Amino acid sequence: MLFAICAFAACDPIHEKIGNAGHISLEELKAKTTVTVDKAASGLNGNVITCSTSAQVNAKWNIGGKDFVSNFATRKMKLGEHTVVLTAVCADGTVLTAEYPVSCQEITDPLQKFYIYGGDPVAEPPFQPGAWQSPDMRFSSTEGAHLPTISDDVYFGLKTLIVDVSDATPDCNVMVHNGWWSNTYISDWAVVSGLNELQITETMAKECAKGGDGKDLQLLLKSGSFTLNSVYYEE
């Protein structure tokens, strides 16, 4: 059952090693785990989900497509129906999975936008990338034509990038990779007019961040056309 709690600020994934004390059952895991949502003044569910477990397991939470490796996690969410997934690894290697449906009905802690590009439409105006033009959407302050280098905090925070697009043609198709002869993360990304979400993964972070391999993330237009208005993340 969901009940009222105090709203916490969203946190980045925390990677830590949690001590294990032996195999437990799924019922024991659920008994030692809580997934809650804060309450609005109206009595409706808010938009801050908080998860915790006291079970002696290595715990990983997936909240809205983002992983948190810790016995505690919290995240501000968009309104709607969500499913929190807890994956727990016991000392003997047994993997337990539990799902918790959560309904977010009213904004209690608004998501803030943090712009990578387009925060100032005069200094960073909308542009139309050319097909197969590598520099056009390369996130590099030195080698990119428009987009700046993404900070390591954003990469290793595994942020979800929101790409605001307009005038997208029906055949609009984008490759997500880190340069020619390197790793391709999405071969065919159907970008549409509106807000398109791109989840930064651990592999992207390790390969693209300056604190990793330093290969800049790149979006490459393969077909169609669109206008890129901004790129940002919310938390």
Assign 3-class secondary structure to the chain. CCCCCCCCCCCCCCCCCCCCCCCCCHHHHHHCEEEEEEECCCCCEEEEEEEEECCCCEEEEEECCEEEECCEEEEECCCEEEEEEEEEECCCCCEEEEEEEEEECCCCCCCCEEEEECCCCCCCCCECCCCCCHHHHECCCCCCCCCCCCCHHHHHCCCEEEEEEECCCCCCEEEEECCCCCCEEEEEECCCCEEEEEECCHHHHHHHCCCCCCCCCEEEEEECCCEEEEEEEEC
Convert 40-62 into a string of H (helix), E (strand) and C (coil): CCCCCEEEEEEEEECCCCEEEEE
What pTM did the predictor assign? 0.74
Tokens of 234: 């919310």
Distance CA 5, CA 61 (A): 19
Q: How far apart are CA 235 and CA 152, in angstroms?
A: 16
Kindly indicate whether the domain formed by 113-234 is annotated with CATH number 2.30.30: no
Q: At which residue do the structure tokens 């993340």 appear?
A: 233
pLDDT recorded at residue 22: 63
* Residues of the chain with confidence (pLDDT) below 70: 1-22
Looking at residue 158, its pLDDT comes to: 83
pLDDT score for 213: 87
CB atoms within 10 A of CB 181: 6
Annotated domain spans of the chain: 26-104, 113-234
Tell me if the domain spanning 26-104 has CATH number 1.10.510.10. no
pLDDT digits (tens, 9 = 90+) for 51-100: 999 999 999 999 988 888 899 999 999 999 999 999 999 999 999 999 99
Residue 66 has a pLDDT of: 83
Q: Which residue type, as a one-letter code, is found at position 159?
A: K
pLDDT for residue 228: 98
Judged on CB neighbours under 10 Å (0-12, 13-18, 19+), 107 is middle
Same fold, 26-104 and 113-234: no
